Amino acid sequence: MGFSTFKSANKLITGQTALEYLLPAITQFNIKKPLIISDQGVVKSGTILHVLNLLNVEYSIYDAVKPEPELEQVQDCIEFYHQHKNDAVIAVGGGSALDIAKCVAALAGQSGHVRDFVGTDKIGSRNIALIVIPTTSGTGSEVTNIAILSDTKNQMKQGIVSDFLLPDVAIVSPLMSVSCPATVTAASGVDALVHAIEAYISVNHSDITDALALQAIALIVEYLPQAYALPSNLIAREKMATASLMAGLAFGNAGVGAVHALAYPLGGKYKMAHGVSNALMLPYVLKWNVIGCAERLSNIAKVLKLGQSHLHTENAEKLVEFLHKFCRQLNIPASLRDFSIQEEDLPALAAEAIKVERLLKNNPRQLSVDDIEAIYREAYAA
């Protein structure tokens, strides 16, 4: 029926020696003075040196990206880019640094404010080379055409969606995530799991995104606990880096759904880390979704060898139960009460979440504002 398109970064380099591709990429794009965009965690851990020690060109560093960064930080960084007369962007960081870098590369050559580009297909071109090196596993931002930034004015996370945000080169090395703090490993790892599950049950899934999503789910369930338990486990880090990239390709093309839509207001209003808000909402939204995608959830349960019943709903329920335990094992809180959220705030959260139509339209069950409030209530009462 119809057709589907498949989008990715132009070139993907993966594996333990992937960073060796950085210099050839710099030569290929004739880069003379790149701007390295990063953050304090990556700099203080020394992980940035894996990149800086390789560079054979002059460069500048903007290392002030904040977690869950604000839209305005894009403007600040664009100013820095022009002041330092840079000619390309290299992102070294988690989703936060990558999203800022994607916007800087696409918008530094345009007139207007970053707020003018919020929404879908508002960017007309990009002529600045963009290389991304993720340090978390993760957001999958290295292969998606979206940047998600905080909008404090509206207490919401906003998406800028454009194919001009797709990087020229993504270099995905497990060496970059070894220094990730355990809480970040857990939260970003579950974010990748949510990407894969939501892509698999999305109404826009395809055979291509299904294959990527199912393999990503299997890898994450096996290797995320190992990476969390022993941060220096390079095999687990490599499998997670690949799984996160695969989940990014899956959701970058099939979309994510209600888990993300209900997580957005939690990030916007209560500054919860993206991975934590998604992990928290995951089992409650999936439980609600079962009647819309029992067979698909049952397929996931079968891949994970959780349930072999001939009844799809039984297997789907086993999956939901498993995901609860999986997140607890990683010490991610299970209840909205674990954050400074009051019960009387829930209707306002639901009123915000229903506005995230861009994602809710991908969900296998249509949700009303009352449904959403009921889901928040379950996540609160837990």
- What minimum distance in Å lies between the beta carbon of 60 and Fe ion? 30
Residue 144 is a binding residue for ligand NAD (CB under 6 A): yes
Beta carbon nearer to ligand NAD, 106 or 316: 106
Among 126, 237, 269, 274, binds ligand NAD (CB under 6 A): 274
Residue 238 is a binding residue for ligand NAD (CB under 6 A): no
Contact footprint for Fe ion (CB under 5 A): 191
Could you give phi then psi for residue 305, rounded to 5 degrees?
Answer: 55, 40
Residue 71 touches which of Fe ion, ligand NAD, none (Cβ within 5-8 Å per kind): none
Residue 139 is a binding residue for ligand NAD (CB under 6 A): yes
What are the structure tokens assigned to 50, written together? Answer: 């894996």
Rounded Cα distance, 170 and 13, in Å: 6
- What minimum distance in Å lies between the beta carbon of 307 and ligand NAD? 29
Q: Kindly determine how many residues on this chain lie close enough to bind ligand NAD according to the rule CB under 6 A.
A: 35
Which of these, 263, 240, 279, lies nearest to 134 by C-alpha position?
A: 240
Among 34, 41, 265, 364, binds ligand NAD (CB under 6 A): 41
Per-residue burial over 265-280, b if 16 or more Cβ lie within 10 Å, else e, is bbbbbeebbbbbbbbb
Length of the chain: 382
Burial class (CB in 10 A: 0-12, 13-18, 19+), 211: middle
Residue 275 is a binding residue for ligand NAD (CB under 6 A): yes
Question: Which residues on neighbouring strands pair with residue 60, listed in sequence order?
Answer: 35
Beta carbon nearer to Fe ion, 39 or 191: 191
- What minimum distance in Å lies between the beta carbon of 110 and ligand NAD? 19
- What minimum distance in Å lies between the beta carbon of 256 and ligand NAD? 8
Phi-psi domain of 279 (left: phi exceeds 0; alpha: psi -120 through 50; beta: other): alpha
Rounded Cα distance, 78 and 180, in Å: 27
**Cβ atoms of 117 and 107 closer than 8 Å:** yes
CA atoms within 13 A on the CB side of 306: 24
The site map against ligand NAD for 97-126 (x = CB under 6 A) is x-x---------------------------
Residue 299 touches which of Fe ion, ligand NAD, none (Cβ within 5-8 Å per kind): none
Beta carbon nearer to ligand NAD, 96 or 362: 96
CA atoms within 13 A on the CB side of 10: 11
Residue 135 is a binding residue for ligand NAD (CB under 6 A): yes
Residue 246 is a binding residue for ligand NAD (CB under 6 A): no
Interaction site with ligand NAD (CB under 6 A): 39-42, 45, 47, 67-68, 93-97, 99, 135-136, 138-141, 144, 146-148, 157, 176-177, 179-181, 184, 188, 191, 274-275
